[in-house]
Structure 1
Amino acid sequence: MTFRRAIAFCFAVAAALCFAAIAAPEARAEAMGIALEGFPYPYPVDFLPLTLEGEDLRLAYMDVPPAGPPTGRTVVLLHGRNFPSSYWAPTIKALAEAGYRVVVPDQIGFGKSSKPGFAYSFDAMARATIALLDSLHVDRFDLVGHSMGGMLAVRLARAYGSRIDHLVLYSPIGLEDYRFSVPPVTDEELARRERALTADGYRKQLMTNYALSLPPAAIEPFVQLRDEIMESGEYPRWLKSFVASYQMIYTQPVVHEIPLIDRPTLFIMGANDHNAPGRPFAPPELRDRMGQNAALAQSLAARMANARVVVFEGVGHLGHLEATQRFNETLLNFLGQ
């Protein structure tokens, strides 16, 4: 090859590479899997094999040992519907440093756990949680349930109360029977609305529905996570699971059972928290009456054998993130009684 031809060849290659760089689409990272593969949790995650409704499943969980002088006690943390159990990170740290063992499951249908196709129930979730604790040789425990996890905590307290030393219902939903205000909604309508919800719409929904005193950047990892899951090839299965969780909350109220709980119980409520699943579907004349959660907690506690309520002023639905120090102190003081 002559020098002139070599120079021409180099120019041709350079031009081709420049064209390819302009014409080729930008490389994109692979979408998040519906079991949150690659999404970091604050502590190691293990899996318990389970069989429910004939399906072989895996229940994800974190089992965090005490970081301080051990108390010999175990605290179980139950997550809400819109967040994986990783959001418990500051609470886990505080409890572990205080000497507690902390067990934090992702319920079946959520987080890193399996997403089955059958209808969900709090009874099945309670059995799965107890199966996990049995496998870890935990007999007695303290129980903290947030939001939807509060409804599950009620069912656990009713079915397995003899194993629970302290019960914390933290910003629980289910303090009213939503069926009295909200008409039934089909799976198809729920799925349509969820598919149509953009990242910006979801961000605004969390900030508004949960009355958060956090900056929007604090919830951005969870907004981004949902957005990435929507790109997954298994998104239809995730969506079916998410819809099933709404129907469980709507059709399986626990409010009528709360006054029957005899365990020492603490409600931790945000004064600004008026979260009420299904409110957008309620008639206008009923919509504004829903979600008076702090007042509902006070009324229910007055009918219980051993319960009290702490209300955080200026705080919404995520008190353990909005007022972390106060939340941790309140929780540890109650567990230490």
Structure 2
Amino acid sequence: MTKWLPALLMTVSLPLLAAQSPSYGPQLEGFQYPFPAQNFTFESQGAPVQMGYMDIKPTGTANGRSVVLLHGKNFCGATWEGTIKALTGAGYRVVAPDQIGFCRSSKPADYKYSFEQLAQNTNALLTQLGIDHVTVVGHSMGGMLATRFALMYPDQVDQLLLVNPIGLEDWKAKGVPDRSFDDWYARELKTSAESIRKYQQSTYYANEWRPEFDHWVDMQAGMFNGKGKEEVARASAQTYGMIFNQPVFYDFEKLKMPTVLLIGQKDNTAIAKDAAPEALRKTLGNYPELGKAAAKRIPQATLVEFAGLGHAPQIQDPQQFNKVLLESLQR
């Protein structure tokens, strides 16, 4: 009996877990953000769009500085929760937008996604909020966007911080085959909480898992589990194409502002790695080496390495990450 009982319990529990998975709308309707969420409505590419964001005032003594936090591909402004608390407690005003195509923001069907466009959208939001100088913190895909933003608006960026940014290598140039939109779309339609959790455990958290990580799995999976999942999958497929085909890798030497690279050493993220030949796949996403190489190319770069942490150090070890982040902002 003891031999088959665990298997029976697992068989019974899986449907129950699936039934309990949340379902959110295509703009994360039903998901509670950690701070008051607002919407910025503006015209982009000839049509009205809505950009979700949080604008959080300092809880500590205000220092007059503003920080914009740019989320990654499979993240949202909400995933910066712990970072926001640390920054506002230290006196910073924090703006955390959801980019068009992601999370609480519009996902227009015929939108032409580019990092230039997302940077322009972010700049329009900051202008609307009356912010003309900012420290930019970008994580994962947000690191690519932060780099493009800093190159487009160098006089507005006081400091640039890149947290395990993707784009430290050009996957296509290395021989990773591109996927068509249809291939990406079919792949994204299969997204589930189980597939998200498996990927995050191996990449984001260095094979560590804690119950609090499930909250962010539910956030992402809920958009693919609810009404409008086709809209979400389409936007996700389009933005994967943007990431793969619009490298910032060749522009690092042009960055003019002080830049800090915050690199979890257990990260192995590389877009479309699963489509690459096995021999090539093993060489991709080597963040210990990618971080060092990028730091050598960026004129005013400081490299900070987190031993034992993966792709999302701000979530995996917020205490360590926030301490280093606040120290880096004082450089």
Task: Verify same fold: TM over 0.5.
Answer: yes
CA distance in 2 between counterparts of 1:39 and 1:75 reads 24
CA distance in 2 between counterparts of 1:196 and 1:295 reads 33
Partner of 2:61: 69
SS in 1 for 2:105: coil
Partner of 1:139: 132
Q: Is the CA contact (8 Å cut-off) linking 1:67 and 1:98 kept in structure 2?
A: yes
CA distance in 2 between counterparts of 1:28 and 1:182 reads 37
Write out per-residue CA displacement over residues 213-251 of structure 1, whole angstroms, 9 at most, x where no aligned residue: 542523212322344323433211111100011000000
Q: Provide the aligned C-alpha RMSD in A.
A: 1.7
Q: 1:325 aligns with which of 315, 319, 324?
A: 319
- Ranges in structure 1 where 5+ consecutive residues have no aligned partner: 1-26
CA distance in 2 between counterparts of 1:89 and 1:222 reads 11
Partner of 2:119: 126
Partner of 2:254: 260
Write out per-residue CA displacement over residues 82-108 of structure 1, whole angstroms, 9 at most, x where no aligned residue: 111101011000000100000110011
Question: Does 1:41 find its partner at 2:27?
Answer: no
Partner of 1:53: 45
Partner of 1:114: 106
Partner of 2:5: none
CA distance 1:263–1:28, change in 2 (3 Å): closer
CA distance 1:35–1:87, change in 2 (3 Å): same
Partner of 1:309: 303
Write out per-residue CA displacement over residues 254-274 of structure 1, whole angstroms, 9 at most, x where no aligned residue: 010112112100000001011
Question: Does 1:87 find its partner at 2:79?
Answer: yes
Q: Is the CA contact (8 Å cut-off) linking 1:298 and 1:308 kept in structure 2?
A: no
Partner of 1:287: 281
CA distance in 1 between counterparts of 2:318 and 2:217 reads 21
Shift of 1:198: 3.4
CA distance in 2 between counterparts of 1:310 and 1:226 reads 29
Between 148-157 and 317-326, report the one with greater CA deviation. 317-326
Q: Is the CA contact (8 Å cut-off) linking 1:59 and 1:105 kept in structure 2?
A: yes
SS in 2 for 1:162: coil
SS in 2 for 1:302: helix
CA distance 1:228–1:296, change in 2 (3 Å): closer
CA distance in 1 between counterparts of 2:20 and 2:207 reads 34
Between 197-206 and 92-101, report the one with greater CA deviation. 197-206
Amino acid of the residue matched to residue 91 of structure 2?
A: G
SS in 1 for 2:266: coil
Question: Does 1:151 find its partner at 2:150?
Answer: no
Question: Does 1:178 find its partner at 2:193?
Answer: no
Partner of 1:22: none
CA distance 1:213–1:95, change in 2 (3 Å): farther
SS in 2 for 1:109: coil
Higher alpha-carbon Rg:
1
What's the TM-score, normalizing by structure 1? 0.88
User: What fraction of aligned residue pairs are identical, expressed as a percent?
Assistant: 38
Partner of 2:7: none
Q: Map of 1:154-165 to 2, 5 A cutoff?
A: 154-165=147-158
Write out per-residue CA displacement over residues 131-189 of structure 1, whole angstroms, 9 at most, x where no aligned residue: 00000110101110000000000001111011111110110000000112311211111
SS in 2 for 1:192: helix
CA distance 1:282–1:97, change in 2 (3 Å): same
CA distance in 2 between counterparts of 1:306 and 1:69 reads 29
- Ranges in structure 2 where 5+ consecutive residues have no aligned partner: 1-18
